Structure 1
């Protein structure tokens, strides 16, 4: 087993500490075992899912269940489950890998897979007692049983803890009677067991229960929902009418349900990011192949600059999402390993390992879900009128992508969460934001240096720009916290602007560090396209941060303070040597054109 550096950055510390490219994990670091798993999952996807896309689009729920069972037989449903409970017991990076490549065939199967392996199985694996785990997890890990997760209610969506479903202890004290209504329940139509959240008496927080799906026990289902996308994902309302649940089926402790729900969402968010990555590659592949074949004015579409721009941006965002997702996944895996080495149980280690990087999980969920939506949108545009037709894969991909911005907490909620969690970490002393923010405030008062740095090394200017972008966040967020204190959460538009700055910093830095690491080991020439993508992503990030920084500053600062901060923003977002963005896009587009698809 490799030695783990116990000084790996804590969640959120990327903002205030410099990361060396040698210290991050990249997809080029996959082990032989991980590469084999990746190929096995891709082969499964190409055999069992892709050829049947038309059936999925026609709401063939039985097909979804059938393919889920096959995935269970091959062990794909139990990748994250410890071996003693019938799973493969693989590390966090491997679970991300399986999630990524199994999810790109259709959003319907991706949703069923995510709901079962994540929120359907994981709460029992991580919060169940030994008896519960032995009884339920092996059946879920092998696909013998299917899982679902009942949290959302008609009046409780983002405010999950406000649910009205009740759990009342029976007179003999041996069971709870659950009454209430749940909605948008994935896998409801074929699940065998559900994680159900209900409130006991007037408890402040909800409680989790493991409930077997037995129609004779007061459980009824609504009709299948007719949805914009993910059409063969079974989505129903679930009604509980005096449903009797033994007391031993309470999950964790009374009132512990809200914590279970939140931690399940942390894992779900980073896994959702993974599920969106290969989907982008496949959309790009279709787009490039069509653009290479389709001619207008006797010229292939892929030779037109307007199309090259789209292909380059689609490839760049897929590459950035992959870079950041696996960076965070390895951080989580290492943190879990450290905790296990320190004597934590698997449950404690995994829970705390993921919770540590909750900020990064929210960042990734927002960034990659929006990138996949943009990618499918541009895919339709490349296909033109044909993109709007059901005969091509674009319109279904576009419809399926739309849900990713909503579930696992809407992107608006996740934006505000990312900044809110970072501020809380600072208050607890886990991330030192105060001293760096004060240093930036002092820098604004000082005279700027007019020295011209040496930018001769690869990415030297880009890494300097990342440092300056971090100062933008510290300047805006630091001043906002100072001004509003605990009332900051009331200023949602300001929080969302700050979140966009935070997101772009993490994504851009991850992309640059991955490319720098690979340029050092494979040579710059071999990484020409990746270098262009890293520079293009950063340029786009600087543009977003400039706009969002300005928006944030003028929302709360006035007079001299505003002028000083706007000058600081200009200083911190200025390149010494602006990259030729058109040339970067052309370099990337020519690569994907020549390879007839994503080739990085």
Structure 2
């Protein structure tokens, strides 16, 4: 993504820089080809997958594989695979749209997502020309299905603590793998496995393992809380001979592949959560309109309307974040020739640039889906607790997203940690901005009056960024190199950054909509943005106070709190009335609306 000066936007820079609305990608920018891919995906889900929904949930391998191959025939598996290897080579916005639309297919969507994302992308991004020719055409059609194998019994979040080993054979032709993996999606029917092992017990390396290799076996299906229609099994390696040409990337550089693929996985997970949240809103609003209590439909009760409004608002913000981030990733990768020898390194660097934003998307979207699903069950009442209604499954399925692709706790540590690393490398002037803020904070902040549309909310966003610089600067000064041990403070900083990115994404999208469509057509978006920014700003204040109370005490704390009070000075708006208007529109449409 280029800013208005034509400069590529640096990852994490949103926390210190102003961003022009015209520079971000929003759903209202979708072109006809992208909308056609969305329609193709929707038609496939509704026409081919949903009629077999119950059977898929019973873990029917044969049916799932058959449907995955049908998806391949439609091109839905090849969006990220270059055309020369049998794919479509689509932009990341298009592949994100496919991912979101597939979400209605529940467990099947997870099977497809694991295949096209973390299963196939390691070869797309880091494979040799020969590896790409050998594997990608079959992966793009679904003839072969992929799985990603990182987690082990003793290493989940600590991926580099893996115990699976690889040793070069005496003839130098194979690596001999020994060890195990757990919780591997698609394991029951996958053909190609992206496996991580330590060469000689120390050099973390990636291997392409084929299902029929001798000594490789697959354990029984896990009995899971949700996503029951997806295969999840352990893997076992007993002297498995993997040809040396199946080393993916370089020996000892497996972490580069693992972490960058996880970044993409986190972003794609956010898109899947978005699609599920939209379905939950549709199910809940329709139920609220048909269920009658006290001679009135549930939707006529203000507290039910409030729930639907809040579900819709948070989903709007999530959608704004997801497509903004897809635009950033697109711009970072689009000029890289993947046929060049150094393309893997360039791709790794371009993905890593927005690692922070990918983690933000993952955390925010997974927690929004949990909120939306929970409220959906509540609207359904007792029926929401029965398997007769799909909202029950959405509720169970949603829970894994806060664990997948690095727990939300790990991602909360990564968000400020990545920002600090960028600052230490001189990539972002974080400390300079924080120091420049000190003099400003000691001055009186005059009262503000706001007249233009969203000017008040834009001011709150600016104050939220200053609050982050204030508490972030204090944390870096106080703890210096020991900051990584202060996990509670890091979590506070992460939450403020997440809220800033969310507030800003909604504001930028709505401003761009106003410029394109006019205020009247963007009226609902304007109201949702107002409510979200004001409520998020209150959360920013709360996280900042908690961080300050952790770092300081006595007179120093009182001084810092008085400065914070200047930055958080705000006249609240009547969110109750605004939410009633939003609720009425959702209830009228019986679905997620912008």
Task: Tell me, yes or no, whether TM beats 0.5.
Answer: yes
CA distance in 1, matches of 2:129, 2:590: 51
CA distance in 2, matches of 1:344, 1:26: 34
1:59-74 equivalence runs, <5 A: 59-74=59-74
Counterpart in 2 of 1:185?
184
Counterpart in 2 of 1:10?
10
CA distance in 2, matches of 1:298, 1:14: 50
What is the deviation of 1:103?
2.1
CA distance in 1, matches of 2:278, 2:588: 15
CA distance in 1, matches of 2:263, 2:360: 11
What is the deviation of 1:439?
2.2
Counterpart in 2 of 1:167?
166
**Aligned partner of 2:271 among 274, 277, 289:** 274
1:114-193 equivalence runs, <5 A: 114-193=113-192
Alpha-carbon spacing, 1:451–1:372, altered in 2? closer, same or farther (3 Å) = closer
Alpha-carbon spacing, 1:344–1:257, altered in 2? closer, same or farther (3 Å) = closer
Query: 8 Å contact 2:196–2:204 — kept in the other structure?
Result: yes
Q: Secondary structure at the match of 2:152?
A: coil
Alpha-carbon spacing, 1:191–1:489, altered in 2? closer, same or farther (3 Å) = same
CA distance in 2, matches of 1:345, 1:46: 42
What is the deviation of 1:130?
0.8
Counterpart in 2 of 1:75?
75
What is the deviation of 1:208?
0.4
The alignment status of 1:509 with 2:504, answered yes or no, reads yes
Counterpart in 2 of 1:531?
526
What is the deviation of 1:376?
0.6
Query: 8 Å contact 1:444–1:565 — kept in the other structure?
Result: no
What is the deviation of 1:60?
2.6
What is the deviation of 1:259?
1.2
**Aligned partner of 2:292 among 283, 291, 295:** 295
Counterpart in 2 of 1:356?
353
Counterpart in 1 of 2:584?
590
Query: 8 Å contact 1:425–1:431 — kept in the other structure?
Result: yes
1:43-442 equivalence runs, <5 A: 43-106=43-106, 108-203=107-202, 205-214=203-212, 217-339=214-336, 347-442=344-439
Alpha-carbon spacing, 1:173–1:145, altered in 2? closer, same or farther (3 Å) = same
Q: Secondary structure at the match of 1:78?
A: coil
Alpha-carbon spacing, 1:480–1:592, altered in 2? closer, same or farther (3 Å) = same
The alignment status of 1:494 with 2:489, answered yes or no, reads yes
What is the deviation of 1:444?
2.4
What is the deviation of 1:5?
6.4
Alpha-carbon spacing, 1:595–1:262, altered in 2? closer, same or farther (3 Å) = same
What is the deviation of 1:355?
1.4
What is the deviation of 1:338?
4.6
Q: Secondary structure at the match of 1:209?
A: strand
Alpha-carbon spacing, 1:321–1:300, altered in 2? closer, same or farther (3 Å) = same
What is the deviation of 1:101?
0.6
Q: Secondary structure at the match of 1:190?
A: coil
Counterpart in 1 of 2:545?
550
Query: 8 Å contact 1:186–1:235 — kept in the other structure?
Result: yes
CA distance in 2, matches of 1:137, 1:573: 53
Deviates more, 1:260-269 or 1:558-567: 558-567
Gaps of 5+ in 1: none
Deviates more, 1:351-360 or 1:182-191: 351-360
CA distance in 2, matches of 1:585, 1:29: 26
Counterpart in 2 of 1:565?
560
Q: Secondary structure at the match of 2:238?
A: strand
CA distance in 1, matches of 2:568, 2:401: 31
What is the deviation of 1:56?
2.8
Query: 8 Å contact 2:385–2:392 — kept in the other structure?
Result: yes
Query: 8 Å contact 2:320–2:506 — kept in the other structure?
Result: yes
Alpha-carbon spacing, 1:370–1:519, altered in 2? closer, same or farther (3 Å) = same
Alpha-carbon spacing, 1:338–1:88, altered in 2? closer, same or farther (3 Å) = closer
Query: 8 Å contact 1:176–1:244 — kept in the other structure?
Result: yes
Query: 8 Å contact 1:169–1:175 — kept in the other structure?
Result: yes
CA distance in 2, matches of 1:591, 1:174: 65
The alignment status of 1:462 with 2:460, answered yes or no, reads no
Query: 8 Å contact 1:79–1:95 — kept in the other structure?
Result: yes
Deviations, residues 193-219 of structure 1 (Å, cap 9, x unaligned): 11111111142x41001111116x001
What is the deviation of 1:559?
2.3
What is the deviation of 1:506?
0.2
CA distance in 1, matches of 2:150, 2:112: 18
Deviations, residues 107-140 of structure 1 (Å, cap 9, x unaligned): x112211211111111111111111111111111
Gaps of 5+ in 2: none
Deviations, residues 403-445 of structure 1 (Å, cap 9, x unaligned): 1110110000001101100000011111111121112222222
Deviations, residues 531-565 of structure 1 (Å, cap 9, x unaligned): 11111111221121121111111011122321122
Query: 8 Å contact 1:4–1:334 — kept in the other structure?
Result: no
What is the deviation of 1:340?
5.3
TM-score by length of 2: 0.97
**Number of equivalences:** 592
Q: Secondary structure at the match of 2:9?
A: coil
- Over aligned residues, Cα RMSD in angstroms? 1.7
CA distance in 1, matches of 2:569, 2:109: 41
Deviates more, 1:364-373 or 1:512-521: 512-521
CA distance in 2, matches of 1:563, 1:61: 62
What is the deviation of 1:3?
12
CA distance in 1, matches of 2:64, 2:399: 20
Counterpart in 2 of 1:37?
37
What is the deviation of 1:579?
1.5
CA distance in 2, matches of 1:512, 1:425: 26
Alpha-carbon spacing, 1:344–1:174, altered in 2? closer, same or farther (3 Å) = closer
Deviations, residues 21-46 of structure 1 (Å, cap 9, x unaligned): 11111000011110111111111111
